[in-house]
Amino acid sequence: MDHVVVVGAGIGGLAASLVLSRVAKRVTLVERADHPAEVGAALALQANGMAVLARLGLLPSVERVGARIERMDIRNAGGRVLLTAQMPDFGGGFDHAIAVRRTQLHQLLLDAVNAEGSVMTRFGCTVMSADPSGSLVVRSGPGGGGPTASTLHADLVVGADGVNSAVRSTGGFDSRLSAGSSYVRTIVQGHANPWFEEFWTPLGSFGHAPLGGDTTYFWAAAQSPAVTDAVSRRDLVSFAAEWRRVLPIAGEFLAKVSSFDDLLVNTVRRVDCRRWFSGRLVLLGDAAHAMAPNLGQGANSALGDAVALAEALVPGTSVQTALERYDHRRRPAARRVQNTAGFLQRLCNLHQARAIRVRDAVLMAMTRIPRLGEGTTRRALASEVQTVMSASVLGNGPSGIGA
């Protein structure tokens, strides 16, 4: 393949640029920001995402700046443990998760892209439209306000441009977006436990995880009426008071926040597509399958998408056949993860007392009988790890990736 254009320089787009440089002579990475930077607080790299970074040679660097996580607890608002689980061991050292700042992971990937000679970057360019023929109309500037438009042509255009994907919205994809749920996230000094801990409360979920350097990442749901009102007024005091009322530890974390400006407010939406390709256009990551955050699989799945797409583009295979293969292999798997994450989100947001009692009893049974907690998600992750570690596209390359 001669030329691939990747739209979006987030975590998924950067990884896709690196992996696709192994199967294309040229890769052009297009990003609307002049200086790409990840927007967000932190994320949990799980075994499937770690496997991709290991094959890219970046995992040791991530481990140096992140925090090793070996356990997760889910508790109710009273602090009672509903479910506790050790991170599963998939072999090869993939027996834990890593909590890492999004900015640090993004910078490691961006540095690798900048060091890759076959990847050309066009930052400060906004995609105005995408055509299934493999052409893009772009304008300079983050808002597309440049004086003239130009057209890029490619054998393949990869839409890695997030929930509000321009490639998806203009490229002939049949898709649906949910209304979404709002959360606030931030990073504060100090730490509590050296593991993930999430509380399911009448206000929704509140959780925290340690990061490197004596810091903690935490998040809080922001969709109940009282909390939503405080967020709309940017009223940190009222927001903290509402959370302190139902969960004292949430109040303790929010007391470490000096200003509402230190909180990142975002709306998490679900994206469903009837198929992930349209002519020579293809989607990955949130552009294809944004999901609820309850499994922490958003970035991990995007990393896996990048490898699966490159593996489908084997020499001698037409673009159409390759994209059909990618869609057939990845879309059902992503749908299962989306559905599981959505189910957990609904469980977390139950309000009826009887339903909550049943939920809590089932979760505690899963802790007492570990086999009840092993299901399709774990098997899917094991399969992804194995697929990534055996991916031929991540073999020895011009920059030593996969060596």
Identify whether residues 22 and 119 lie together within a single domain.
yes
Share of the chain above pLDDT 70, in %: 93
Please check whether residue 88 lies inside any domain of the structure: no
Q: Could you list the mean pLDDT of each consecutive 10-residue stretch along the chain, which spans 403 residues?
A: 95 97 95 86 93 95 94 90 86 92 95 95 95 94 70 96 96 92 93 86 94 90 92 96 95 95 93 96 97 92 96 89 95 92 89 87 72 60 85 60 28
DSSP tag of 234: T
Domain interval for residue 239: 181-268
Identify whether residues 370 and 344 lie together within a single domain.
yes
Where a domain ends, among 268, 301, 331? 268
Q: Note the pLDDT tens digit of each residue in 345-370.
A: 998 888 888 888 898 888 887 766 55
Identify whether residues 158 and 51 lie together within a single domain.
yes
Identify whether residues 170 and 281 lie together within a single domain.
yes
**Distance separating alpha carbons of residues 324 and 334, to the nearest angstrom:** 15
Q: Note the pLDDT tens digit of each residue in 253-308.
A: 999 999 999 999 999 999 999 999 999 999 999 999 999 998 899 999 999 999 99
Rg (CA), the chain: 21
Query: In this structure, are residues 145 and 139 in contact, taking their beta carbons and an 8 Å threshold?
Result: yes
Paired tokens of 333: 């798997």
**Distance separating alpha carbons of residues 211 and 68, to the nearest angstrom:** 8
Domain of residue 326, CATH code: 3.50.50.60
* Reduced 3-state DSSP string for 92-118: CCCCCEEEEEHHHHHHHHHHHHHCCCC
pTM (predicted TM-score): 0.91
Identify whether residues 388 and 254 lie together within a single domain.
no
Identify whether residues 56 and 166 lie together within a single domain.
yes
Amino acid (one-letter) located at 357? R
DSSP tag of 171: T
Identify whether residues 278 and 365 lie together within a single domain.
yes
**Distance separating alpha carbons of residues 390 and 52, to the nearest angstrom:** 11
Identify whether residues 249 and 284 lie together within a single domain.
no
Domain of residue 227, CATH code: 3.30.9.100
Where a domain ends, among 268, 296, 322? 268
pLDDT at 397: 40
Paired tokens of 389: 């570690």
Where a domain ends, among 268, 287, 312? 268
Map tokens 């970074």 to a residue. Answer: 53
Identify whether residues 131 and 258 lie together within a single domain.
no
Query: In this structure, are residues 183 and 23 in contact, taking their beta carbons and an 8 Å threshold?
Result: no
